[in-house]
Structure 1
Amino acid sequence: MKPSVTRSWRSARCPRCGNTFDCAMQAEPSSCWCRALPPLPAERLEPGGQCLCPECLAAEIARATREASGDERP
């Protein structure tokens, strides 16, 4: 009998859109998918806030990048 494989990722729910996604930040922060994305500016983070799903995080990073460059288009 093979030993069961323990998966360190956990299912999370995005606080913005409600979609579920895999998140490893609690178990193994250095291996989470979000580490491959540009960092979100600290002023955009909510203290004690939950992780965003890949789509919402990408949208928030794009919005922050547009605002930083002076381009206010949605």
Structure 2
Amino acid sequence: MKPSASRPPGSARCPRCGNAFDCAMHAEPFDCWCRQMPPLPRERLDPSGRCLCPECLAAEIARVAQPEPGAESP
């Protein structure tokens, strides 16, 4: 049996919540669900970190979009 070029569903595990999810980071061509989401700012990325599941990535994107507590609007 020839191995698939992409990872099988559920092949990744979220480092935050531990849930299994489908990550296509190493698929050729790269076409993962995360490309459809808004990008995180560069300072929020950890190049040595693993991918987050859809729920944790959405929560992190929402957290970044909210102003810091106590911060004043210009």
Q: TM range, normalised to the smaller chain? A: 0.7 to 0.9
The structural deviation recorded for 1:5 is 8.6
Choose between structure 1 and 2: higher helix proportion.
1
| CA distance in 2 between partners of 1:49 and 1:13 (Å) | 12
Query: Is residue 51 of structure 1 aligned with residue 51 of structure 2?
Result: yes
Higher strand share: 1
Deviations 1:13-62 (A, max 9, x none): 00000000000012236310000000011111113100000000000000
CA positional deviation for 1:4: 7.2
TM-score by structure 2 length?
0.76
SS in 2 for 1:52: coil
Unpaired segments of 5 or more residues in structure 2?
Answer: 70-74
TM-score by length of 1: 0.76
Residue correspondences, number: 67
- In 1, Cα distance between the equivalents of 2:38 and 2:28? 18
Quote the RMSD (CA, aligned, Å): 2.3
What is the aligned-residue identity percentage? 66
Matches within 5 A, 1:1-74: 6=4, 8-10=6-8, 11-28=11-28, 30-66=30-66, 70=67, 72=69
Following the alignment from structure 1 to structure 2, what is the Cα–Cα distance between the partners of residues 65 and 46? 18
Counterpart contact for 2:5–2:28, Cα < 8 Å: no
